[in-house]
A and B are shown apart, each in its own frame.
Chain A
Amino acid sequence: MQQFLNVTLTGLGQGAVYAAFALALVLIWRSTRIVNFAQGAMAMFTTYLALTVIEGGQSYWVALAVALVTGLVLGAGIERLVIRPVEGGPELNAVIVTLGLFVALQALAAILFGSTFQSFPAPFDLRGFTVGGVNIAFTPNSIYIIVAVVVVMLGLVALFRFTDLGLKMRAAAFNQEVSRLLGVRVGRMLTLGWALAAGVGSLSGLLIAGGSLVFPAYMDAVIVYGFVAAVLGGLDSPAGAVVGGLTIGLLLSYVSGYLGSELVALAALVILVAVLLVRPQGLFARTAARRV
């Protein structure tokens, strides 16, 4: 029973991070119909920048701000420079470009920061709370992770629901031609969408790194889990991404706790294939059919 509780709590913490990552994928998919496979590498890169800032003697919070801002800039820059030319083209081209970015960023990080494992500090205590004399796998840091993800999500909801800018971004994602006729600067909205997504991605990279090890490939598996979570939620629906992320976090945590951690990636593959074959529109799709 205690193990079940621990596995569940660990899963919730991880699920929150996957949810943030899936949300970043969904933001980009909604606006440009591109799955950004470079998302993980971009997050890894900004996490390394944050680590450099921390090693330079600054606090975790300064590093967090640096990571988020560079994430925004990186996302906007990448959209302008390399994604814009392939938008609306053959879908394989966009996939290949993001994969090229993925490889290049990962190698660049290894060149600049080294490929050894480095530990990344956590802002809060990593020892679990004690409930009734039993130590459970729920730490102040997990609370921080969940709160951070929830705050970001509420912020995004507020942006998209209650501001003019959010309305314009939704319009640009919904129908580029019509929005352009109505005076929305579609290009800028797409760049902004990529910047926001990269910022959210950076946050998830930083949250995963907190209290564990970073190395250039540490986000590889997270790309897959985030993608599975996004597809589970329908790839079009931000709320779906959140629920998908939490579900994937829990399921993978159970697999890891009861079957073996080597099988986690395989379990993700099985879930992905099952979802795509049984319910390709995802759990939360509004449109009736989607071609996968």
Chain B
Amino acid sequence: MSQQTDEPAATTQASSPLTTEAPQPRRLDAVRRRLPRSTFGRHALIVVVALVAVVLVLELTSPFRNSQFATMSYYAIAAAGLTVLTGLNGQISLGHGALMAVGAYTTGLLLGDDGTGLPLLLVMLIAAVVTALVGAVVGAAAARLHGPYLAGATLALAVAVPGLAIYFDHTLGGEQGLPVASPDVPDWFSDAVYFLSANETPTAKYLAYLGWGTLLLVLLLLANLMAGRTGRVWRAVRDDEVAAELAGIRLGRVRVLAFVVSAVCAGLAGSVLGIVVRLAAPSGFTIVLSLGLLTAVVVGGLGSLVGALLGSALLVFLPPAVTNIGIGAGLDGTQAAQLAPFVYGVVLVLVILLAPSGAVGVVKQIWNRSRTNRREPSTRRTG
């Protein structure tokens, strides 16, 4: 959709011989010309810039903030997967918490509780593959459902999966959960960080790096997927099933693929969650987690990766602030802790009623309006 309208120089120049008059020079054209021409190149450039920002932020903030950023990373990975599924392909899932559980438990089982299991990256990869398989099964059922039916079925999934961990309590640890070994910081990594910033690398910071590294990789891959043919096909299926089918798109396959891609993200997120929290327990994967992810993607803006990032930042940084306000207002600790979900719920309703396109959508609207005011309206045909 509007992805295309924002693409700078490359498309504008390529299409200029076709238009009757040359496009008017735009601000920042000098910058645009220096950007890489391929979509992948541009996305990679953004990711590199983001990586630098992540290093700066993690090195300059306290260990407590580091662990908050680690938490944000796994929310964001899962939210990115969900926003692609719901925003681009139109399938809602209330079961992503359950898919994260699959990733976390796989990680816990393979790492072993003393860390003598397989190497970490291999474990994360396997966790993603296992979750992808589960996602394929769920997706195959989900592909035939829509709207409230899909919501109900995935809600049932979210409620059912924690029970499995209790049923198989000798392998999966029952109510107490499965301890996940915390990985050691590799020497080359702490050396590299020391070389850059003269800081030590405690485990919490290493985990934040691990989470954000995974997140940036996931975002890069998803951004490319969305900008390319696959993303276009997914949007076509979302917007008009009949038209998509007439255009030769296999609806079922597309839906299952979207679900699998989303499940891979959830599995990776669960894996990072397991390592960061050091525990995979049924109480961590309740319906609240799934609904929290949904809140993140809706509030940020459905279908937008930036929105997923914003939304997951909200999930991490809002609760402490709101809880403090609650305690200041005279609530006790457990009551104040419930203020955050209360705010989520209210915000979720308000966003749908007042600004269904979320934070990113609102910003985009304002931006587009100011651009159309500045430029000749006739030259803008998309949008």
Chain A residues at the B interface, C-beta cutoff of 8 Å: 34-35, 37, 82, 85-86, 91-97, 99-108, 110-111, 114-115, 217, 220-221, 223-224, 227-228, 231, 260, 262-266, 268-269, 272-273, 276-277, 280, 291-292
Q: A97-B353, A103-B344 given as contacts; is B153 within 8 A of A272 (CB)?
A: yes
6 contacts between A and B (CB under 8 A): A97-B348, A220-B287, A265-B159, A268-B160, A272-B153, A276-B153
Q: List residues of chain B with CB within 8 A of the CB of A91.
A: 146-148
Q: How far is the CA of A263 from the CA of B162 in the complex (A)?
A: 10
Closest chain B CB from A215 CB (angstroms): 12
Of A97, A104, A111, the contact of B335 (CB 8 Å cutoff): A111
Chain A contact residues, majority secondary structure: helix
Closest chain B CB from A7 CB (angstroms): 18
Q: A224-B155, A227-B152, A262-B167 given as contacts; is B342 within 8 A of A100 (CB)?
A: no
| Shortest 9 CB-CB contacts between residues of A and residues of B | A104-B345, A100-B348, A103-B345, A107-B342, A91-B147, A35-B148, A107-B341, A100-B349, A265-B160
Q: Of all chain B residues, which has the CB nearest A108?
A: B342
Contact bitstring B153-186, A, C-beta under 8 A = 1, else 0: 1011101110110110000000000000000000
A273 lies within 8 A of B342 (CB):
no
Chain B residues at the A interface, C-beta cutoff of 8 Å: 86, 90, 92, 94, 141, 144-149, 151-153, 155-157, 159-161, 163-164, 166-167, 286-288, 291, 294-295, 298, 331, 334-335, 338-342, 344-349, 352-353, 356
B146 lies within 8 A of A272 (CB):
no
Kindly list 11 other residue pairs between chains A and B, CB separation below 8 angstroms, not including A92-B90, A100-B352, A265-B163: A92-B92, A93-B356, A95-B151, A97-B353, A100-B345, A101-B349, A220-B159, A224-B155, A264-B163, A272-B156, A276-B153
Q: List residues of chain A with CB within 8 A of the CB of B90.
A: 92
Of A96, A227, A291, the contact of B298 (CB 8 Å cutoff): A96
Q: How far is the CA of A223 from the CA of B167 in the complex (A)?
A: 22
B145 lies within 8 A of A276 (CB):
yes
Q: List residues of chain B with CB within 8 A of the CB of A111.
A: 331, 335, 338-339, 342
Q: A85-B353, A96-B352, A104-B349 given as contacts; is B295 within 8 A of A266 (CB)?
A: no
Q: List residues of chain B with CB within 8 A of the CB of A96.
A: 92, 294, 298, 348, 352
Q: List residues of chain B with CB within 8 A of the CB of A263.
A: 163-164, 167
Q: How far is the CA of A104 from the CA of B240 in the complex (A)?
A: 33
Of A93, A105, A115, A266, the contact of B345 (CB 8 Å cutoff): A105
Q: How far is the CA of A224 from the CA of B159 in the complex (A)?
A: 8
Closest chain B CB from A251 CB (angstroms): 14
A103 lies within 8 A of B167 (CB):
no
A99 lies within 8 A of B94 (CB):
yes
Q: Of all chain B residues, which has the CB nearest A261?
A: B163
Closest chain A CB from B361 CB (angstroms): 13
Q: How far is the CA of A115 from the CA of B90 in the complex (A)?
A: 35
B145 lies within 8 A of A292 (CB):
yes
Q: How far is the CA of A220 from the CA of B167 in the complex (A)?
A: 19
Q: Which of B163, B347, B349 counts the most A-chain CB atoms under 10 A from its CB? A: B349
Q: List residues of chain B with CB within 8 A of the CB of A94.
A: 148
Closest chain A CB from B359 CB (angstroms): 15
Q: List residues of chain B with CB within 8 A of the CB of A92.
A: 86, 90, 92, 147
Of B157, B291, B331, the contact of A103 (CB 8 Å cutoff): B291
Q: List residues of chain B with CB within 8 A of the CB of A114.
A: 334-335
Closest chain B CB from A73 CB (angstroms): 18
Q: Which of A86, A95, A97, A231 counts the most B-chain CB atoms under 10 A from its CB? A: A95
Closest chain B CB from A93 CB (angstroms): 5
Q: Of all chain A residues, which has the CB nearest B241?
A: A291
